[in-house]
Amino acid sequence: MKTAAGRTATSSNAARPRVSVVMPVLNEERRIVRALDSVFAVASVHEVIVVDGGSTDATADLVRARSRATLICAERGRARQMNAGAGAAGGDVLLFLHADVTLPSDAVSWVESALRDPAIVAGAFRTWTVADDGEAPIWAPLLHLADLRSRYTGLPYGDQALFVRAAVFQRLGGFPDQPLMEDLELSRRLRAVGSVVTVPASVRVSGRRFLARPVYDTFLVNVFPLLYRMGIPPRVLANFYGNTR
The pLDDT of 149-173, averaged and rounded, is 90
Whole-angstrom distance, CA of residue 168 vs CA of residue 77: 22
- The answer to whether residue 157 sits within a structural domain is yes
State the CB neighbour count (10 A cutoff) for residue 135. Answer: 14
pLDDT given for residue 241 in this prediction: 61
- The answer to whether residue 195 sits within a structural domain is yes
Strand-pair partners of 206: 130
Do residues 99 and 158 lie in contact, with contact meaning Cβ atoms separated by under 8 Å?
A: no
- The answer to whether residue 117 sits within a structural domain is yes
How many domains, the chain?
1
The pLDDT of 18-41, averaged and rounded, is 97
Helix (H, G, I), strand (E, B) or coil at 30: coil
pTM comes to: 0.82
Whole-angstrom distance, CA of residue 6 vs CA of residue 63: 35
**Residue 25, Cα to own-chain centre: how many angstroms?**
12
- The answer to whether residue 62 sits within a structural domain is yes
- The answer to whether residue 12 sits within a structural domain is no
CATH number at residue 183: 3.90.550.10
Q: What confidence tens digit (pLDDT) does each residue in 11-20 have?
A: 444 567 999 9
The pLDDT of 180-186, averaged and rounded, is 88
pLDDT given for residue 4 in this prediction: 38
Helix (H, G, I), strand (E, B) or coil at 236: helix
pLDDT given for residue 192 in this prediction: 97
- The answer to whether residue 1 sits within a structural domain is no
Whole-angstrom distance, CA of residue 176 vs CA of residue 187: 11
- The answer to whether residue 160 sits within a structural domain is yes
- The answer to whether residue 9 sits within a structural domain is no
The whole domain housing 61 covers 19-241
First to last CA, the chain: 37
Sequence-distant (6+) residues with CB within 8 A of 4 are 104, 201
Question: 146 pLDDT exceeds 80?
Answer: no
